[in-house]
Amino acid sequence: MKNRRWSVLALTLFSMALFVTAACSAEPEAGIPPVPTPGLVTLVDIGAHKCIPCKMMAPIIEELKKEYAGRASIIFIDVWEHREQGAKFGVSAIPTQIFYDKAGKEISRHVGFMDKESIVAQLKTLGVK
């Protein structure tokens, strides 16, 4: 009886290890860049093209992409098109902005509309000039 329990436990652990390995080594989803961007302060704005506050943020995100090109990575992910991304980032409401430092560590997150000045202030706090 003991051996059977150990066999079931071993099989379960092996299966979990395979699942985790497959999940961690999976190819990034098409159209979604790696987040955070290695070596750069990263802002990922998680929303949807049809969400009203997200639509209000869209021009801000586009401006910031141009203004901070080469100095910071500004990424938008539409979770209505890529549903698994919401769970991946632990998002429960959109829009959500997540800020990562150069080392890839999440530093802060904000839920809801975020104006350009607040985003720029957070980028400056993270050392982006």
Domain ranges of the chain: 41-125
- Mean pLDDT for back-to-back runs of 10 residues, the chain (129 residues): 48 35 44 93 97 97 97 97 95 97 98 98 97
Reported residue count of the chain is 129
Task: Summarize pLDDT for 77-109 with one digit per residue, the tens.
Answer: 999 999 999 999 999 999 999 999 999 999 999
Active site residues: 51, 54
C-alpha 70: how far from chain center: 19
CATH 1.10.3720.10 fits 41-125, yes or no: no
Write the DSSP symbol of residue 102. Answer: T
* SS3 (DSSP) at 101: coil
State the pLDDT at residue 31: 79
The reported pTM is: 0.77
Peptide bond into 28 cis (omega under 30): no
